[in-house]
Structures are given as C-alpha cells and as structure tokens.
Amino acid sequence: EKEGYEHFMIKEIHEQPKGVSETLLRRLDTDENIVLDGIKLTKEDLENINKVYIVACGTAYHAGLVGRYAIEKFAKIPVEVDVASEFRYRDPFVDDKTLFIAVSQSGETLDTLAALREAKRKGARILSIVNVVGSSVARESDDVFYTWAGPEIAVASTKAYTTQLVAMYLVALHMSSVKGTLTKDQYDGIIKELKTMPEKVKNILDNHTRIQHLADGQFNNESVFFMGRGLDVHVAHEGSLKLKEISYINSFAIAAGELKHGTIALIEDGTLVVALATQDRLYDKMLSNIQEVRARGAFVVGVAKEGNKEIEKTADVVLYVPDTMDELTPILSVIPLQLLAYYIAVARGCDVDKPKNLAKSVTVE
Ligand code: M6R
C-alpha cells in the first residue's frame, strides 16, 4: 500500500496537496462561504465566547500555535495554547464562556482526551479538529471539524499537520465572518490565497531533489538548530520535532530573538542551523540573526519566499517556497523541513516509519 514509495512517510508527504485541497474544498460553497456542516457555532454562541483554549500534543500542538495566530488576527478573540499533559494538571481558568479546541490526528491521545473532559466539566464548549472519524475525541466533542488527510500510518505526522493548519484557518475565518472582524476584501483575499495552497505545496514537492542532496551532505550532524520569528518559530518547532523523532539527531528550535539570551553559546564551526525567514515584516531581523550564527561558524540553510533574494548573501543554502501572504506560510514552509528530516533519516539508515520508542498514538500517560 506504499504505492511505489519507499516509506509511508514520504508517501504521506506527497499526499499533502490532496489532503489540503480536500480539507479546504469540502468546507467551501460555490460562493466561497465556509460551510461548517455539523458545527453549530452561531453568532450568539460566538458572542458568548470570550476566550479560546487550543490544547493538543506534539505536532497537533504545533498546529495549534499557528491556530492561535490565525484566530487572534482574523477573529480578534484571545487564545491560549497548551500541551494537553500540562493543561489537565494545572487547574486552568475555563468557564462557560470558553471555547476549547482539541486538535488530534488520531482522536485517541489520552492526555488530549483527559484535557477535553476537564474543560467540559468546567463548562467549556468543545470543538475538535480530528482526522479519524468516530474517534474518542470526536465522540466527546460538541462539534467536530474533520480533516481530510486520509489515514496516516507513519509515526511522524505530516499530512495531518498541514490539514490541521487548513482547519485552523477555516475556523478562524468562520469566526471572523460571524463577528465581522475582517472586511469582505480581506476575507476573500485569504480564501483565494488558501485555494492556491495545494498547487504551491506540489511545486515544493516537485523540487525535492535539491533537499535530498542537501540531506546527503548533512546527515552526520550531531545537533541541528531551527530558528525563526513570528509564525516561523512554530514551524521551526515542527521541523525540529520531525527531525529528532525519525533521525535521532539532537535538534531543537528557538525564537531567533532569543539567540543572544543563551543559545548562541552552542553555535560552533559547522553547526547546522535551519533559519526560517518567510515573514516579510521580520525578514531583515532574521537576516541579522543568520549573520550572527554564521559569524560563529554555523552552516545556515535558509527557508525564504521566492523573490526574497537578499538571504542568499547570508545563508549558505536557500530553500525557496512559493510566495504567499505571511499568515499562510506555515502550510508551505513546513514542507522542505519534512523532506529534510525524511532524507536525513534515510541517509542515516533509520527505520523512518517506525522510529524507536515511539507509537503512532499515545493512549497511555
Ligand atoms: O494523534 P494526535 O494528533 O493526538 O497525536 C499527537 C502526537 O502524539 C503526534 O503529533 C506526535 O507528536 C507525532 N509523532 C509527531 O510527528
């Protein structure tokens, strides 16, 4: 069932244009209004809500971080994001004015389910973003937004993440249209751009050989740093998780502005740094951060939007993603990071689909 691919992970990476497109188009009517069938969040419901909690684990948590940005920016509702294992034990402030959004591919992650039950007990309205139909998280929620990634087999989550992002954007846009927080032009512009995502993801996938070659030269690194600013930080965390879980390389991610507050001490000759610089507003700041690590000997792989060429002067290698609005870049910028993690793990001879110590769904604490 790998359909000619060597691993499920790479097959699932290549299924993303389809997953993104299905998740999107099934929720748009011919007038490009968002149809959230089965999701009953009315104007009155949303008027009652003064706070959103997004709770999840691992990759789903990283999608939640992007969700926070989208909901705050588009719908102007304050959002907190938490990992489920922390949320459930810290007595968070939740009441009947809280919308609790659980994000889970499997819908069976124990901590996420326990957090959901805790929020429900406190009176929150429960919306879940889930991939597996009829799963526990879906069954226990008031409303469910199903992602259309299709079955995800590889332990490393890829297509679930990009479809969760689409779901997050649609939920945020739906909230904004009910609350009237975006102009029609703004709303239409975002939907129009979202519709270009499947093609843009495909474009990155079609150019995967460059990333493969890069991985072949970088697979021996003992540690890898990912950094970014704004939305790029969240993608940096996702790229770092992907790499460590399948290649066992010690990798971590930081907000680039935090470099000088400690992490830069670890940069030495040859350290691999993956620097995401897709946010127009923060581009120049990222270029300075790249210079800082390069001055200490780092080998920098930059990720930037096509057309932003200045980065070539500071980074050693640049991986370009097609141009899009800053808010939507995570759907694109995560793709080179998934590919990089995959090809590095393959070059290291790792069991990519079944990394050691990990299970596909974590149904114990
Ligand atoms: O099924 P879920 O989305 O609830 O799973 C959450 C995490 O266990 C999952 O994303 C995990 O972090 C993946 N192995 C990451 O690739």
CB 163 within 8 A of CB 170: no
The protein residue with its alpha carbon nearest to ligand 1, atom 12, reads: 58
Looking at the chain, which runs of residues are DSSP E strands? Answer: 51-56, 79-83, 98-104, 125-130, 143-146, 223-228, 250-255, 272-277, 299-305, 317-321
Cβ partners under 8 Å of residue 184, min gap 6: none
Residue 252 has pLDDT above 90, yes or no: yes
Residue from 67, 15, 21 nearest 196 by CA: 21
Rounded Cα distance, 183 and 181, in Å: 7
The Å distance, Cα 321 to ligand 1 centre, comes to 25
Question: Out of 31-40, 93-102, 119-128, 142-151, which region has the weakest mean confidence (pLDDT)?
Answer: 31-40
Higher pLDDT, 102 or 219: 102
Please tell me the predicted confidence (pLDDT) of residue 34. Answer: 84
Atom of ligand 1 nearest to the CA of 137: 4
What's the mean pLDDT when you consider all of the chain?
A: 95
pLDDT band at 8 (very low <50, low <70, confident <90, very high): very high
The Å distance, Cα 109 to ligand 1 centre, comes to 8
The Å distance, Cα 33 to ligand 1 centre, comes to 31
Residue 29 has pLDDT above 90, yes or no: no
pLDDT digits (tens, 9 = 90+) for 309-325: 999 999 999 999 999 99
pLDDT band at 39 (very low <50, low <70, confident <90, very high): confident
The protein residue with its alpha carbon nearest to ligand 1, atom 14, reads: 156
pLDDT digits (tens, 9 = 90+) for 134-149: 999 999 999 999 999 9
pLDDT band at 210 (very low <50, low <70, confident <90, very high): very high
pTM of structure: 0.97
Residue 364 has pLDDT above 90, yes or no: no
Residue 56 has pLDDT above 80, yes or no: yes
pLDDT digits (tens, 9 = 90+) for 180-209: 999 999 999 999 999 999 999 999 999 999
Which helix (H) or strand (E) is 164 found in, with range?
helix 159-179
CB 49 within 8 A of CB 97: yes
The Å distance, Cα 4 to ligand 1 centre, comes to 25
Out of 106, 108, 153, mutate this one to test ligand 1's pocket (max ligand atoms within 8 Å of CB): namely 106
Q: Confirm or reject: Cβ of 246 under 6 Å from ligand 1.
A: no
The Å distance, Cα 103 to ligand 1 centre, comes to 10
**Catalytic site residues?**
360
Residue from 32, 338, 2, 16 nearest 197 by CA: 16
The protein residue with its alpha carbon nearest to ligand 1, atom 9, reads: 58
Out of 54, 61, 105, mutate this one to test ligand 1's pocket (max ligand atoms within 8 Å of CB): namely 105
Atom of ligand 1 nearest to the CA of 112: 4
**What Rg, from alpha-carbon coordinates, does the chain have?**
20
Please tell me the predicted confidence (pLDDT) of residue 31. Answer: 81
| Residue found by looking up tokens 């919308």 in the block | 99
Average pLDDT estimate for 283-308: 97
What is the torsion angle, in degrees rounded to the nearest 10, for the CA atoms of residue 184, residue 167, residue 239 and residue 327?
10
Structure tokens at 358: 């990990």
The protein residue with its alpha carbon nearest to ligand 1, atom 7, reads: 58
Bridge partners of 171, per DSSP, are: none
Q: Confirm or reject: Cβ of 13 under 6 Å from ligand 1.
A: no
Q: What ipTM does the predicted assembly reach? A: 0.99
pLDDT band at 28 (very low <50, low <70, confident <90, very high): confident
Atom of ligand 1 nearest to the CA of 59: 10
CB 247 within 8 A of CB 222: no
